[in-house]
Structure formats: C-alpha cells, structure tokens
Structure 1
Amino acid sequence: MFVPVDLPDALWNRDNMRQALAARDIAAVFRLARQYGGLSQSRIGIATGIGQGRTNEVFNGKRKIVSIEVLERIADGLGMPDRARQLLGLAPAIGEPQDSEAQAARIGITRVFAAQATAAQEIRDAAWQANEVDLLAVRALGLIGLNDSLLREPLTAERAEPVKARVLLLDPDSPAAAHRAHEIGESEESFTAGIRMSIARLRELTDQPHLDLSVALYNTLPTWRLIRVDQTIYLSMFNGATEGHQSAIYRLSAAQYNLLHTGFTRQYEDLWTTAERLI
C-alpha cells in the first residue's frame, strides 16, 4: 500500500531538483526530498512503493530507475506537480488544475467536470455562438430532443448565419440498442422508443431557418458521448451502469499536440461516413 507524502511546492522549483528530474537522477531527487522535506529513506520507500533495500540502493547510486511504471509511482508518491512530472518525462496528472496555455496544449484535457450538470452552462454559452456542432449520443433527448434540453434553444435561436449541426444517434433496430437497453436495466421497447421519439423531435427542426441539421444512425455499441462545439469537444462515456450525462466530462481543446482531440474528431468523421443518414 502506497502512502503519498506532501512536500513543499517550492522544492520542485529549485534548480538542483529541476536538473535531477531532467536527468532522471532519482537518487538526487530522493536526497533532496529527504533534505528539504524531512523524509527518511523508509518514508520515501513507503510513499513510492519501493522496498527498503531497493530504496537504499537508489540512494547509494547502486540502482537506477528506468521503468516508466516505477517513475509514475515515484511521481505519485512524492506528490509531484505537473511541471515536475513533465521534467521527468511523464504525462501530466489528469485532474490537476492547468496553470499555463502550454501545459493545456500538452495534456489536451483542459478541464474535467464531475458530470453534465456542472458543464451545462459552459456548453450552452458556447452553443449560442457556435458555427458548427456535432453530437454523438444514444437518444440525445437531454441534449437536443426535448424542448428544455441542453442545446435545443441555443441551436434554434435567431442568428446571422445558420449553425451547422450533425447528430449521430444509436440505431433503434440494431443489436447494439438491445444490448444497451439490457445494460442499463430498461426494456428494449422503452429504450428504443426514446430513440424514435428523439428522431421525431429532430425532424420537427428541419424547417428551422437558423439551423442546418443532419441526423444519422450508427449501429455499434455506444462507448463515447461527444459534444463538439466549434473546436472544443466535451467528452463523456457510457458504461454498464451509467448514462453519458452521469459520467465525468472532459473538455478537449484543439491544440498542436492534442492527440485526444485529433483522435476523437477522426473517429466521429469515420462514424458519420458509415452511418445511415436520416435527415
């Protein structure tokens, strides 16, 4: 069992600590943690999950740490902030507040919301000004299907140029729909009725002058729930116990190094290409 420690934040800004991290000199990192954090070898070993004997070998320069898994464990155990993790060559810790635009570009996840309820206002505000919106959902009743849904009002409001919206829904006649109904404990009839209701409500929007709407059906088991508002993606997931709006939501911003944003954009485009077009 690992018991992390709380080291002074200023420690990670020291030149000798930054040099040790960049060189992956874990012996020096441990010595500095002992010197400025008052930690014993034993406490460092407990924090990082390294046995007492091996910790002693690291301190004495007889053992080098090269395994990424062990480096991650050390970073977690010593409570390294993201700026220290990056010097060590590790990815930032998901969920830590971002402190610079460069860091946000590197991690790709620029904010984590506990659920849709905490992200709703930001998404709605962005949708009012959006030129393009993509949705990947199961039923989308809470997103756009109902009058009081998250995006129906912003996307149908008067604007200078129509907003282009694409909606991907789960095919109610697919085996995946029956599987998903079983996963969340709904009858297949009730579950698929919700999808058909959403389709009917979306058809009502086809004559909206300020909305250029396209709808298609996919037939694979839903995993990701995606809302793209211009270049920002709000990503959540479906699992066997919860719906997408109950999941944590990850905000992905388009950036040079953001593989997540690029990957999910590519996935959506591929899914749209193979989906059955309805509207």
Structure 2
Amino acid sequence: MAQQKTARGYVRKYRWAAYFLALVICTVLGVVLWITTPPTADAVDRLGTRLAPGFLSAAIVAFLFLLSEWIKTGDDELGKQESAEADDKMRESITKLATQVEAQAAEIRVLRAELDIDGRAKDLARVGITGGYGGRIVPNEREYLQRYLNASKGVDMIGLDFSSITRNFASYSRFRPGIRVRVLMLDPDYPAAASSYVGQRTTEERQPRPRQVSGAQLFCQNFARWRNELPAEQQGALDYSIRLYQTLPAIHYVRYDDEILFGPYLIEKSSENTFTAISNSGTPIFAQLTEHFEALWTRWSRPPNDDWFDITRP
C-alpha cells in the first residue's frame, strides 16, 4: 500500500508537466511534418500529414487525462481508506482519553471526599468531638470498663439510674485508692413521686415503669453492699459520692480523667442504646460539659435518702 501510494503521488505531482511535454512534442512533430511534406504531394496526403500531429496530440492528452483520473480515483479511494483508518484511530484515542479522564475524575472525587472528610473531622475535633460509638454502656461495656480501670484522677457520671452498672456492679466497683468517683442520677421523686421526670422519661423510652423508678435506689443499695464488704482501711480511703439531680434529663455523661463520653436522650429510644460521642479536654465541648456537671452537682441536686443505702431492704 505504501509503494502504491508513493507511485500515485509521483504521477499526480508531475502530470501537468507531462501534459505540457506531450503538447510540445506533438506541436514540434506537426511543424516538422508540415515542413518536410513535399509540395507535390496531393492534397489528401498533405491534409493527413497536417492532421496527424493533432490526432496524436489529442490521443496523448486523452491518455494522460485518463491516467490522471485513474490516479485521482485511486487517491480518493486511498484517501477514504486513510480517512476511515484515521477516524478509527481518532475514536480509539478519544476513547482512551475519555477513559483516562474518567479515571482521573474518579481519583479526584475520592481525593476530594477524603479531603472533605478530613476537613470535617478537623472541624469536629476543633470543637471537641474526637470519636464515638453507636451505643452506650450496654453494647460498649468493655470500652467503658477499661476507661474506668485506667482512670488515674477521677470519674464523673450523669445518668438516669445506671441500671446497666447495677446489673454488673462488681466490675465497676473495684477499689481504686486516690480516685474520686461522683455519680449523678435523676431523682425518681422529682418534682413529685406520682409525676416524676423519671416516670416521664420511662414512658418516652417505652420501658417498664418499676425498673426506672427504683433504679437509683437499687444502685445505692449495691454501692452500700460493696462498700460494707471492703476492709475498714479501704472504706476510710474511699472517695465515692452519689447525688440525685432535679432537672429535666439532658445528656448521658461519663468523664474519665480528661475524656468525656456523652450523648442525648431520644424519644422512643432506650438510653442504653443511644449513640455516644467522645470529647477530650482543652476543647469547647469538653469545657461546657464539665461546667454542666459541676452546676448539677453543686446547685441542682440532693443526696439520696439514707434508707436507700439500707442493704436489708427488699
């Protein structure tokens, strides 16, 4: 195909020179024949001699014209073939380019999503959210217990009645000398025993009413039973306090040293299984939550009734 293309191109390039050369040759031949024709020749011979170069020139020009058309037709077919091949190559190149562009766009989308996630994570960390769980003590008991055992300064808690701890009090009641533990539970008799916040929250969570109403008392009894089993020297060193807050329940809150695990109370959702967020010290959320606990502890709570610590009660 390459040789054919070269031959056609060579002929097409010099075809006008061939036309001119043929015309010159025929003209010269005609003049020569005109001059050399004897005057004595008859008219027919002289006419034939004079017309012969014209016919010959016409034949040569016609041949060259046909050759040119053949070259042109071949070039057109070759051009169409080359054009089709070029179109195929172009489509292939465009397809490859489109694939590469799509792949790069996908990478850019992934990178942008990672940057967005990283940016949002930084924003959350800046205000104080550093992690979280889908539930609370029940599904993440190992996480809570490990933090309790690793605490070196103190533990503060806000909850409804910490029934999950009551059910497994032995794990959370290991004696820790030098560790201050403060527990805030919702007062089951506030603002009135018949219409308490505990009863309202129990209804909202669709929980059995007796469990919630007596939960704080059960916690105090379990604490008293554990405390009485400690040696006298450990009882004297024990720094464990319980109070009952008298406000609408706002958040579940557990602080271990410089880390707080907290979450909201949601309608028709058990507080034991509501999501938990984690906040670290030195952030706005940590500071506000700490202030919230201190306000409840000092101004919005009372100590439990003395008989709640009577381990002889049923």
Aligned match of 1:132 in 116, 134, 154?
A: 154
Paired residue for 1:250?
A: 277
Query: 1:84 deviation in Å?
Result: 6.8
Query: 1:176 deviation in Å?
Result: 1.0
| Structure 1 residues 125 and 216, CA gap change in structure 2 (3 angstroms) | same
1:277 to 2:303 alignment: yes
The 5-angstrom pairing of residues 66-215 of structure 1 reads 79=113, 81-82=115-116, 85=119, 92-93=120-121, 105-116=125-136, 117=138, 119-130=140-151, 131-143=153-165, 145-146=166-167, 148-149=168-169, 152-157=170-175, 159=176, 161-174=177-190, 175-186=196-207, 188-207=209-228, 208=230, 209=234, 211-215=238-242
Aligned match of 2:289 in 261, 264, 278?
A: 264
CA contact (8 A) 2:205 2:271 kept: no
Query: 1:224 deviation in Å?
Result: 0.6
Deviation readout 1:88-115 (Å, 9 max, x if unpaired)? xxxx25xxxx7xxxx7752421112111
Structure 2: distance between partners of 1:273 and 1:82 = 42
| Structure 1 residues 188 and 35, CA gap change in structure 2 (3 angstroms) | closer
Q: Which amino acid aligns with 1:267?
A: H
Query: 1:124 deviation in Å?
Result: 1.5
| Structure 1 residues 180 and 230, CA gap change in structure 2 (3 angstroms) | same
CA contact (8 A) 2:173 2:226 kept: no
| Structure 1 residues 177 and 37, CA gap change in structure 2 (3 angstroms) | same
- What is the DSSP-based 3-state SS (H/G/I as helix, E as strand, rest coil) of the residue aligned with 1:168? strand
Structure 2: distance between partners of 1:179 and 1:218 = 15
- What is the DSSP-based 3-state SS (H/G/I as helix, E as strand, rest coil) of the residue aligned with 2:182? strand
CA contact (8 A) 1:127 1:155 kept: no
The 5-angstrom pairing of residues 10-21 of structure 1 reads none
| Structure 1 residues 34 and 106, CA gap change in structure 2 (3 angstroms) | farther
TM-score (norm 1): 0.58
Paired residue for 2:253?
A: 226
CA contact (8 A) 1:136 1:169 kept: yes
Q: Which blocks of at least 5 consecutive residues in structure 1 are unaligned?
A: 1-32, 40-46, 48-77, 86-91
Structure 2: distance between partners of 1:34 and 1:213 = 63
Structure 2: distance between partners of 1:269 and 1:188 = 29
Query: 1:155 deviation in Å?
Result: 3.9
TM-score (norm 2): 0.52
Deviation readout 1:5-25 (Å, 9 max, x if unpaired)? xxxxxxxxxxxxxxxxxxxxx
Structure 2: distance between partners of 1:221 and 1:196 = 19
Q: Which amino acid aligns with 1:198?
A: F
| Structure 1 residues 227 and 84, CA gap change in structure 2 (3 angstroms) | closer
Structure 1: distance between partners of 2:180 and 2:116 = 38
Deviation readout 1:57-113 (Å, 9 max, x if unpaired)? xxxxxxxxxxxxxxxxxxxxx63634774xxxxxx25xxxx7xxxx77524211121
Instruction: Point out the structure with the larger helix share.
Output: 2
Number of residue pairs matched by the alignment? 188
Deviation readout 1:90-147 (Å, 9 max, x if unpaired)? xx25xxxx7xxxx77524211121112554323212211313001100011213x23x
| Structure 1 residues 245 and 81, CA gap change in structure 2 (3 angstroms) | farther
CA contact (8 A) 2:182 2:240 kept: yes
Structure 2: distance between partners of 1:234 and 1:153 = 19
Structure 1: distance between partners of 2:140 and 2:208 = 30
CA contact (8 A) 1:205 1:213 kept: no
Paired residue for 1:29?
A: none
| Structure 1 residues 104 and 162, CA gap change in structure 2 (3 angstroms) | same
| Structure 1 residues 82 and 260, CA gap change in structure 2 (3 angstroms) | farther
- What is the DSSP-based 3-state SS (H/G/I as helix, E as strand, rest coil) of the residue aligned with 1:266? helix
Structure 2: distance between partners of 1:35 and 1:189 = 61
Structure 2: distance between partners of 1:190 and 1:123 = 22
Query: 1:263 deviation in Å?
Result: 0.7
Query: 1:232 deviation in Å?
Result: 0.6
